[in-house]
Amino acid sequence: MESESKTQAPLGAFTAGDTEQKPSLKSITVFLSFSGSGGVEHIIMNLVREFARRGVAVDLVLIRARGPHLKDIPEGVRVVQLNAAHTSSAIPELARYLRRVRPERMLVAKDRAGRAAVIARSLSKVDVSICLRLGTNLSEALSYKSAFNRWSRLANMRRIYAKVDRVIGISQGVVDDIRKITGVPAERCRVICNPVVDESLILKSKQPLAHPWYQTGSRPLVVGAGRLTQQKDFATLIRAFAKLREELDAHLVIIGEGRKRRELEQLVAELKIQDYVDMPGFQANPYNWIGQADLFVLSSRWEGSGNVLTEALALGVPSVATDCPSGPSETLAGGKYGALVPVGDYRALANQMAQTLRKPLNAEILRSAVKEYEVGFSAERYLNVVAGIE
C-alpha cells in the first residue's frame, strides 16, 4: 500500500509574470521516480513548489523516494509514497491510487514512468489525462545501448506514446526527436523551457566559499558540473583544460559525483594537472561554485536542454558548450550567447575557452538569454498545457 502525508503551502516564493492570475487547474497529480540528486528531481521540485504557491492542490506520487531534494517538498503538497522498488512493479499500486483518488490530470516525468502511467490508467479504467514530460534526447541516449535494447525500447515507446494525451519536451530538439521515433503528432507536443531560474538561485550563488581557489582571484577559474557519467563527457573537458593551460594559468573545478570518478582522476594524473583540477563531489549548493567562476563549460555528448548551462547564464557567467543534441544550441541561440563546439573535440573546446576568458560577454546580456526559464513563466505554461488550454 502507498503511504501519504499532507501539509499546507506557504506564500511568497519568487516567480515571474502575473502572479495574481488564477491557476488553470485546481488539482494535479505528479508522478515520478524520485531516486537521486539529478536534474529531473530538481526541476520537478521547482514546478511543484510553484504549483502549490499558486493554490493548486498537488499529489506527488513517488517511487523510490530518496535523495537530497526530498527536503524541499513544500507544505501543502500531499506525498503518496509507493512501496514498489521499480517503475514497472509500481503499476498495480499506481492503478489503485487512480481508482481511489480519480484525478483528472497527471503530469509524469521520465519515459519509463510514462509507460507505467499509461498501463496503470488502462488497468484502473480511470479517465485521467496523461501529460508526459521528457528531458533528454532519447535517440542519442539509446545509441549507446545494444541493438536489441534499442529495438525493444523503441517498439514499446511507439505503442505507449500513442496513448499519451500530451508530450512536453524541454527543447525543440527533444520534441523533434520524440516525434521522429514515436510518431506522436505535432498537435500533441509542446516545448516548455525548464523552470530553473528563481530568487533562490541568485541568493545561493552569493554564499561565500571556503575553497582557496575562490579566495585569491588571481587565476581564471573554470567550472563544469553534472554527474560523472559518459553522457557528461568530462574527459573532453579535462583534456581541453590541459590544452588551455598551455596558454593560460587557470584552475578547473568539476562539481558532481558518479561512476566515472576513478577514470577521470586517472586522466588528470596522466595529464599531470593534479595541482590545477579539483573534483569536490556532489554539492548541495552548486550555485556559488558556478556563480563565482570566470567560465562555465558544458561538455556533454547529449542533453535535453542542459539545466546547468541555463543556470550559469542566469548567474551572468560566460559559458561554452558542445553543440550536442539537444538544447545547448537553443539556449545559446546558435552561438549568440556563448560559443558552441563539436562534441568530443577538446582542441576546439580549449580554443573557445581561451577566447571566452579573454573576451567574455556582459553579464546582463547573458541573463537576458534565459527569461523563458524563470520558474513562474515555465510553471504557468505547464499548468496550461496539462489543462489542455494550449
**15 vs 180: which has the higher pLDDT:** 180
CA distance 363 to 357: 13
Is 50 exceeded by the pLDDT of residue 314? yes
pLDDT for 147 equals: 83
Mean predicted lDDT score pLDDT of the chain: 88
Number of Cβ within 10 Å of residue 86's Cβ equals: 13
279 shares a domain with 333: yes
Mean pLDDT for 122-135 is 95
CA distance 372 to 190: 14
Q: Predicted confidence band at 66 (pLDDT cuts at 50, 70, 90)?
A: low
CA distance 221 to 209: 14
Per residue in 356-368, pLDDT tens? 999 999 999 999 9
380 shares a domain with 326: no
Side by side, the strands of the sheet bearing 277-281 are 277-281, 251-255, 221-225, 295-298, 319-322, 339-341
182 shares a domain with 54: yes
CA distance 374 to 196: 6
231 shares a domain with 122: no
pLDDT for 73 equals: 81
Residue 77, C-beta contacts closer than 8 angstroms, at least 6 positions apart = 7, 9, 48, 52, 58, 59, 60
Is 60 exceeded by the pLDDT of residue 116? yes
Q: Predicted confidence band at 14 (pLDDT cuts at 50, 70, 90)?
A: very low
Is 60 exceeded by the pLDDT of residue 6? no
Q: Predicted confidence band at 21 (pLDDT cuts at 50, 70, 90)?
A: low
186 shares a domain with 72: yes
Residue 170, C-beta contacts closer than 8 angstroms, at least 6 positions apart = 133, 134, 135, 191, 192, 193, 194, 304, 305, 327
The residue with cell 479517465 is 127
18 shares a domain with 91: yes
225 shares a domain with 172: no
For the chain, the domain total comes to: 2
331 shares a domain with 206: yes
Per residue in 231-245, pLDDT tens? 999 999 999 999 999
Number of Cβ within 10 Å of residue 115's Cβ equals: 23
Is 60 exceeded by the pLDDT of residue 139? yes
Q: Is 56 helix (H, G, I), strand (E, B) or coil?
A: coil
pTM of the full structure: 0.78
124 shares a domain with 228: no
CATH number at residue 214: 3.40.50.2000
Which residues form the domain of 257? 199-371
257 shares a domain with 162: no
CA distance 109 to 61: 11
Q: Which residues of 33-55 are buried (b: 16+ CB within 10 A; e: fewer)?
A: bbbbbbbbbbbbbbbbbbbbbbe
**19 vs 350: which has the higher pLDDT:** 350
CA distance 389 to 385: 6
313 shares a domain with 241: yes
350 shares a domain with 379: no
